Amino acid sequence: MLALSAQLALSALLALNLPLARAASDDLPQVMRLLAARRHGRVDFVEQHFLSVLKRPVESYGVMTYDAPNRLEKRTVEPRPEELVLDGNELTVERKGRTHVLDLDAYPSILPFIESLRATLAGDLPALERVFDVDFSGDLDRWTLTLSPRDSKVSKTVSRVRIDGSRDVLLKVEILEANGDRSLMTLRDHPAP
């Protein structure tokens, strides 16, 4: 009995796991292909920051625009208007009337925050794998990418990035920092004007 139930359990597990394993091998490239095929996207975002220094989470929201292959624009409306534009490796931040231009390569601590999103949107698996160990779960209609920084210097700031999506649409981006702080960004299609 015991042996049988163990076998059942095992087969049940196998039954559960086998399709999953197959999905990982087939669906990841397919999701990436779908994402890569998408040249333009425009979404509303709500971002919640759970920080140890805060009594309650702080929320920010705004609009994010993506143009393939490497232009990402994040326009925050609240709590304070702010614009962040990533073009190639150049990050332009406009804040309080001042414009700061940063070279992404010069700031390894910011890199994972940006690269996880940009490379995923571009469907660029090799780029993702340069920075992260990539773990895929779920299927085409409901997938989750779990990204762990490969570089120890990077993992000192970010311990994990989790991206939930459905086909070529990103739904949630969660960034877990090494110090326990966390931010969760929820994306929704931007209503057509």
Partner 1 sequence: MSARGAWAVGVWLCCLALAAWAALDARYVADLSAFLPSRPTPAQQLLVDQLRDGPGSRLLLIALERGDVETRARLSAALAHRLRGDREFSNVGNGDEATAARDREFLFAHRYLLSAAVTPEHFTPSGLERSMQETVADLASPEGLTLQGLAVRDPTGEMLTVIDQLSRTQAPRPRDGAWTSADGARTLLIAETVAAGSDTDAQEHALAAVRAAFQDAVRDSPLPPARSVELVMSGPGVFAVASRAKIEHAVMRLSAAGSALVILILLAVYRSPSALVLGLLPVATGALIGVAAVALGFGVVHGITLGFGITLIGEAVDYSIYFFIQSAGGAPERWERRLWPTMRLGMLTSVCGFASLLPSGFPGLAQLGAYSMCGLIAAAAVTRFVLPVLLPRNFSVRDLAPAGERVARRLRAVRGTRAAVPWIAAFCLAAGSIAVLLLSRHALWSRELSSLSPIPATELRRDAQLRADLGAPDSLDLVVVQGASLDSALSGAELAARALEPLIAQKVIGGFDSPAVYLPSRASQTARRASLPDPATLARNLDEAARDLPLDAGKLGPFKSDVEAARRGRLLSAADLAGTSMAAGLETLTMRRAGGWSALLPLHAADPSRPSIDIARVRRALASAQSSAQALDLKQESDALYSDYLREAMRLSLAGFLAIVVLLLIALRSPGRAARVLAPLVLAVLTVAAVLALFQVRLTILHLVGMLLIVAIGSNYALFFDSGDRDGAEAGPTLISLCIANACTVMGFGLLSLSGVPVLEALGTTVAPGALLALIFAGILTPAPPTPAPPVHA
> In the complex, which residues of this chain contact partner 1 (CB under 8 A)?
47, 49, 51-60, 74, 76, 79-80, 82, 84, 93, 95, 98, 100-103, 105-107, 109-110, 113, 157, 177, 179, 181
Q: Which helix (H) or strand (E) covers residue 125, if one does?
A: helix 125-131
Pick between residue 168 and residue 181 the one whose CB is nearest to partner 1: 181
Smallest gap from residue 55 Cβ to partner 1 (A): 5
AA letter at 8:
L
**Cβ(183)–Cβ(171) below 8 Å:** no
Query: What span, in angstroms and rounded, lies between the C-alpha atoms of 116 and 148?
Result: 10
Q: Which helix (H) or strand (E) covers residue 57, if one does?
A: none
AA letter at 10:
L
**Cβ(161)–Cβ(112) below 8 Å:** yes
Q: Which helix (H) or strand (E) covers residue 23, if one does?
A: helix 2-37
Pick between residue 39 and residue 98 the one whose CB is nearest to partner 1: 98
Pick between residue 47 and residue 139 the one whose CB is nearest to partner 1: 47
What does DSSP assign to residue 181? -
Smallest gap from residue 84 Cβ to partner 1 (A): 5
Smallest gap from residue 6 Cβ to partner 1 (A): 48
Pick between residue 23 and residue 46 the one whose CB is nearest to partner 1: 46
HEC sequence for 173-193: EEEEECCCCEEEEEEEECCCC
Smallest gap from residue 31 Cβ to partner 1 (A): 25
Pick between residue 7 and residue 179 the one whose CB is nearest to partner 1: 179
Smallest gap from residue 49 Cβ to partner 1 (A): 5
Can you read off the two tokens belonging to residue 191?
A: 């209503």
Pick between residue 60 and residue 148 the one whose CB is nearest to partner 1: 60
Smallest gap from residue 133 Cβ to partner 1 (A): 21
Pairing of strands 82-87, 71-78: antiparallel
